[in-house]
Amino acid sequence: AAQQKKLGIALVGLGRYSTNQLAPALQETEHCYLAGIVTGTPSKAEEWKRKYNIPEKNIYNYETYDQIADNPDIDIIYIVLPNGMHAEYTVRGAKAKKHMISEKPMATSVADCQRMINACKENNVKLSIGYRLHFEPHHQRVMELGQKQLYGPVQRIEAADSFVFQGNPDRWRLDKELAGGGPLMDLGIYCVQGAVYTMGQAPVAVTAKFGEVTRPEFFDEVEQSISWQMEFPGGAVADCSTSYNENKNLLYGKAEKGWWRLQPSYAYGGIKGETSEGPMNIKNVNQQARQMDDFARCILENKQTRVPGEMGLRDVRILEAIYEAARTGKRVEI
């Protein structure tokens, strides 16, 4: 039956996330498989071709990328490039009439997010964001606890996602043009997401403050750290922070009659959850496999994805408000 067809995915940008997470996850998916690659590095093309048995005709570089339009093996294009490149490659992919996934953050401006949404609409293809944690059972439990108010209305959220930036080869993360910003764009987005899906609604206002720059040799273009507060309708508050100079990984929620904590919370595995009633006892899963399978099913069954472009745009708008609040020192309404 048509339902049994596996959709072909092409990964664009064979960096660390594609190599270590997405390609392995695509060996476990039921509704999609790794059909093609787009890379600017010929040695990676050779290696991936052998390792994953990818036919030569399904291998592209950034110049030949648009020819993917003529390739019936590719149903979905997954953009895993530096943030500042997501918009261009999503728009080009949509014009090739392929369904699109863009990694987070969706783009480096709200205007670019809107361009991506428009291009996908005009070409009648679906667009989703690589928000893997929507398919992770600990986070799904937090959504339920918060949104269904199982412990009463949420009063306070705390979220932190930070790691110590070493001299990684992925230097684009320190480049304003390619990254759009520092840890807020890269990691802080998980705190924004976590708070918003705990509440089931977007914040109405933010305040924010940049942290001190102690490593100017790294952080001369983007922030080293930032902390911010989001206000939600009804008065709940989320205190958040992100940094490239410490290690933190937390999503905490406090409601009238109980609390919950995920720690570590945003990792690919090993997530641990606890509530005021005790350990969550929830199994970890392959988040990326679930995420990609869900999108494939949305295409096969013509359903809405739960992580659409509109959600990516909403979050980039919040990130822009946080930067504005930090720059001006003022409370910024969203």
Q: Counting contacts by CB under 6 A, is residue 172 touching ligand NDP?
A: yes
Q: Return the residue of 6, 24, 40, 263 that touches ligand NDP, per CB under 6 A.
A: 40
Q: Counting contacts by CB under 6 A, is residue 80 touching ligand NDP?
A: yes
Q: Decide whether 154 or 192 has the Cβ nearer to ligand NDP.
A: 192
Residue 177 belongs to what H/E stretch? Answer: helix 176-179
Q: Decide whether 65 or 219 has the Cβ nearer to ligand NDP.
A: 65
Q: Decide whether 109 or 229 has the Cβ nearer to ligand NDP.
A: 109
Q: Return the residue of 29, 39, 109, 241 that touches ligand NDP, per CB under 6 A.
A: 39
CB of 31 closer than 8 Å to CB of 8: no
Which single residue is written with the structure tokens 């943030």?
Answer: 83
Q: What are the two backbone dihedrals, phi and then psi, of residue 279, each rounded to the nearest 5 degrees?
A: -65, 150
- Tabulate helix, strand, coil % of the chain (nearest 5): 40, 25, 35
Q: Return the residue of 32, 54, 81, 250 that touches ligand NDP, per CB under 6 A.
A: 81
Q: Which of 246, 291, 284, 292 is nearest to 265 (CA)?
A: 284
Tell me which residue has its CB nearest to ligand NDP: 15
Q: Sign of the CA dihedral 189, 193, 194, 199?
A: positive
Give me the least distance between CB of 233 and ligand NDP, in Å please: 28
Q: Return the residue of 186, 294, 315, 320 that touches ligand NDP, per CB under 6 A.
A: 186
Residues 1 to 30 in contact with ligand NDP, rule: CB under 6 A? 13-18
Q: Counting contacts by CB under 6 A, is residue 163 touching ligand NDP?
A: no
What does the per-residue mask of binding to ligand NDP show for 108-147, with x meaning CB under 6 A? ----------------------x-x---------------
Residue 241 belongs to what H/E stretch? Answer: strand 237-243
Q: Decide whether 38 or 206 has the Cβ nearer to ligand NDP.
A: 38
- What DSSP designation does 119 have? H
**Which residues lie closer than 8 Å to 244 by C-beta, 6 or more apart?**
162, 163, 164, 165, 182, 183, 218, 219, 224, 225
Residues that bind ligand NDP (CB under 6 A): 13-18, 39-41, 44, 80-83, 103-104, 130, 132, 170, 172, 186
